Amino acid sequence: MASLKNCIYAIGGYDGTTCLSSVERYDPKANEWSCAVALLQESKRDVGLAELGGYRYCVGGHDGLLCLSTVERYDPGEDRWCEMAPMASCCMGLGIAVLNGCLYAVGGSDGQSPLYSVERYDPVEDTWSPCPPLGMCREELGCVTSRGKIYAVGGPGRPRRALQH
């Protein structure tokens, strides 16, 4: 779930059998849900979602077989998803934050183990670059920005040193 231009979007997911490419939009002013929204280019669940520059970004996730590094961007004016540069690593259950005009993909899981990696996406250059890692591996976490910092909160994790065995 995520908001964009005064509407709330339910993007992708899992129905108990298969991953979904569906996108539904809720308009709180009209108190209406609509399925008349462009579908994702690929079915996925456990994605990271964020709004940046008037676009909705759908990052990573799982397609039912594999973790994904893919990134899709939704343009509400054109009602269209387009593929952007992929992340360097595949991950699902990641946290997403926006800071200083960039998108940050934080932690998550590679499908086997929680991650401590952090990547930054520059929408102008359409490129990802590595950032200093988390101090603890985390998946299914929440991220928020405040006073120029990103806070990664919750989600199961373990200290990085546990991965060095």
List the pLDDT tens digit at each of the 165 positions of the chain.
Answer: 667 778 899 999 999 999 999 999 999 999 999 998 999 999 999 999 999 999 999 999 999 999 999 999 999 999 999 999 999 999 999 999 999 999 999 999 999 999 999 999 999 999 999 999 998 899 999 999 999 999 998 887 665 443 332
- Using a cut of 0.85, tell me whether the model's pTM lies above it: yes
- Which residue ranges form the domains of the chain, and what is each CATH number? 45-158 (2.120.10.80)
**DSSP code at position 67:** B
CA distance 22 to 83: 16
**Structure tokens, 17:** 């059998």
CA distance 144 to 83: 25
Cα–Cα nearest to 71, from 98, 93, 53, 49: 49
Query: Which pLDDT does position 158 carry in this prediction?
Result: 62
